[in-house]
Amino acid sequence: MAEVTLSKLNKFFDTTHVVKDVDLQIRDKEFMVFVGPSGCGKTTTLRMIAGLEAVSSGDIRIEDNLVNEVPPMDRDIAMVFQNYALYPHMSVASNMAFGLKMRKFPRDQIEERIKRAATILGIENLLARKPRQLSGGQRQRVALGRAIVRDPKVFLFDEPLSNLDAKLRVQMRVELKKLHERLAVTSIYVTHDQVEAMTLGDRVVVMKDGWVQQVGEPLELYNQPANRFVAGFIGSPAMNFAEVTLADQGGKVVAEAQGLRIVLPDELAARARTKMNGAGTPATLGIRPEDLHVAGAADSADHCFDVNVEVVEQLGSEILLDSRVGSALMVASIDPAVKVRAHDKLRLALKPERLHLFDPQTEMAY
Amino acid sequence: MIEGALWRKWVFYNIPLILFVFVLLFPFYWMIITTFRPDGELYRPWNAVNYMPFWTNNPTLEHIKYLFEETNFGRWMMNTMFIATISTLISLFCGVLAGYALARLNFPYAGSLGTVIFVTYLVPQTLLFIPLAQIIRNFELGDTPWSLILTYPTFLIPFCTWLMMGYFKAIPKELEECARIDGASRWKAMVYIIIPVAVPGILSSGIIAFTLSWNEFIYALVFLSSPDQKTVPVGVTSELIRGDVFFWGPLMAGALLGSIPVAIVYSFFVEHYVSGLTGSVKG
């Protein structure tokens, strides 16, 4: 049982406050992903868990043991670094053996563990090579192998895939997922790539400016973002936002902006009503590109609007339309069969149940 | 490379290169030719009919023989070798540890301490030898090899520290962090990971330190007095220049033989040396 618990964790570099009151419970065997833009404090948090950075205030517990003052070597963790950090003067086998030698494992056990890890990762034929004789993907595997042989309580990953090319990254992502299923060890993974976060994580922590924005399962973040930042960060292409005013018209709540008039569905309307004070309450409307389509006969006029198409990006499996409604920019992902060209006028419809509303001041979701 | 017409390549690349090579190698050539030239030719007036400064038809080993039979040259070589080796080892040991500390350990004023160490390297030896002579006398080390072994590090340690600090800073921090997570203490991480990776840097600073102490003149001149304690640079110049008489043949033979160990050290480590100076650590 290796739970990792962070409570009221803070980190200051001199006077800069980089990690702010992080409270988090990482469950046993869970794959937890920290995601956020660069400088959001995710890597610093990971390094504090590893013991490479001192904790300014708050507690870190691994398996109920307070580890704030425990040196990295005694925390029983393994870490995979972005630049792999392979020891350049040692062969692959010695790289993997180093941690076990430091812990005074008997020689036959070291060899057995290296063999097993090398088989799992498919690097048996590389054991005698030096790191400089390996490709990027192979180095990444060796770095993983070095973590696996230790059989630690917790794996820490610091953007391990960002030095790989796009194709290899997808492949390694799948392998990481398989590896985690096979080993079932608590893992904490830091990335700035929301796709990695969505695909790998059992749960995802979204961070910004040192604050935890939301913690949840990937689909929870996608479907119920807690605030505008999470809504815009998770999902690709990013969610569209339009500044609207809310008004009560004949028992219905209507979101209006220049060229846009959307009747909110009842559930969202009920939540919006609690925030409305009189006519013309400002709000931010959010809708994902994949929840827009070209309007047809079945679409109610309550959920349609006209756009000017500015750019057409044909991706084969879909078309991304960069279009404009009044002053708002709308990206729509539509059926690739639709014939559309730049500067066309087009009527789009949205799925009303997929609408999001945010407070323009606090940016929190309604 | 220079692009364009052939004449441009000659004017801007080949000819300057040839001039440089000539200027750099001519003193060595002069040293070698003088070593093997008999006295009769060396002191022949410039307007003699058979005056031939750049070549000799009668090479001789008499100057080298003179050097070994009539002076303490062999002893001087041993002295220099002993002093240079020990002071280099002391300086490397201190320089590696200090360089590591300045590059990696977070302690107050680490940056300014590094600068101060560099400044001490800039204090000229011509200024420093006077107080050092006092110290040597107080410790009664005058005229012993230890007077030099203990004073050479005053300029070698700052030099090694500065060079190693730069080299350690170029080694990715993650290597050491990974080692510490893998179960190594800071000391073990340094011994097993950082120092092996820094070998090219250690070799380069070792070579330069060895050369500096091999060639050192002022301290050796001041602190050593008896002929059998001297180092090569001091011995050769003090024993082979008598008054205003220069024994050119043995002088040049001494310079030639004295430069051989340094040349051997350089050629032996040249590959590591180059990568040490360019400071490349590729993972």
For A184-246, where are the alpha helices, taking DSSP H only?
194-200, 218-223, 228-233
Selecting from B175, B181, B192 the residue whose C-beta is nearest the C-beta of A72 gives: B181
A144 Cβ under 8 Å from any chain B Cβ:
no
Band (B273; pLDDT cuts 50, 70, 90): low
Chain B interface includes A160 (CB < 8 A): no
Nearest to B223 by CA among B120, B139, B159, B158: B139
Q: What are residue B241's DSSP bridge partners?
A: B246
Quick one: CA dihedral B147, B152, B157, B158, positive or negative? Answer: positive
The amino acid present at A305, given as its one-letter code, is: F
Q: What is the DSSP string of B163-204?
A: HHHHHHHHS-HHHHHHHHHTT--HHHHIIIIIHHHTHHHHHH
Can you give the pLDDT at residue B276?
A: 58
Q: Note whether B182 contacts A89, CB cutoff 8 Å.
A: no
| Ramachandran sector of residue A7 (left: φ over 0; alpha: ψ -120 to 50; beta: rest) | beta
Decide if B240 contacts B227 (C-beta within 8 A).
no
Partners of A227 in the β-ladder: A364
Per-residue pLDDT of chain A (366 residues; tens, 9 = 90+): 689 999 999 999 989 999 999 999 999 999 999 999 998 999 999 999 999 999 999 999 999 899 999 999 999 999 999 998 999 999 999 999 999 999 999 999 999 999 999 999 999 999 999 999 999 889 999 999 999 999 999 999 999 998 888 898 999 999 999 999 999 999 999 999 999 999 999 999 999 999 999 999 999 999 999 999 999 999 989 999 999 999 888 888 899 898 889 999 988 988 888 888 776 889 999 999 999 999 988 888 889 999 999 999 999 999 999 999 988 899 999 999 888 888 989 999 999 999 999 999 899 998
Among A106, A97, A105, A52, which residue's Cα sits nearest to residue A75? A52
Mean pLDDT computed over B38-49: 83
Rg of the Cα atoms in chain B: 24
CB contact under 8 A, B283 and A86: yes
Q: Which of A75, A87, A150, A156 best probes binding to B when mutated, by most B CB atoms within 10 angstroms?
A: A87
Q: Chain A closest CA to B187's CA: distance in Å?
A: 12
Chain B nearest C-alpha distance from A152 (Å): 10
B283/A139 touch (CB, cutoff 8 Å), yes or no:
yes
Domains of chain A: 4-233 (3.40.50.300), 240-358 (2.40.50.140)
Every domain of chain B with CATH number 1.10.3720.10 lies at: 69-278
Class of CATH domain B69-278 = mainly alpha
Instruction: Report chain B residues whose CB lies below 8 A from the CB of A88.
Output: 175, 197, 281-283
Interchain contact, A102 vs B188, CB within 8 Å: yes
Residues of chain A with C-beta less than 8 angstroms from the C-beta of B181: 50-52, 72-73, 75, 77-79
B201 contacts in chain A (CB < 8 Å) = none
DSSP A277-342: -SS-EEEEEEE-GGGEEE--TTS-GGGEEEEEEEEEEE-SS-EEEEEEETTEEEEEEE-TTS---T
Does residue B34 register a pLDDT over 80? yes
- Chain A residues close to B179, C-beta within 8 Å: 87, 98
Task: For residue B105, give every residue at least 6 positions away whose Cβ sits within 8 Å of its Cβ, in sequence order, or none.
Answer: none
Instruction: Note whether A71 contacts B282, CB cutoff 8 Å.
Output: no
Residue A37: cis peptide before it, omega within 30 degrees of 0: no
Looking at residue B279, its pLDDT comes to 47
Q: Hey, is the C-beta of A70 within 8 angstroms of any chain B C-beta?
A: no
Residue B104 CA to residue B197 CA, distance in Å, equals 15
Is this complex scored with an ipTM above 0.90? no
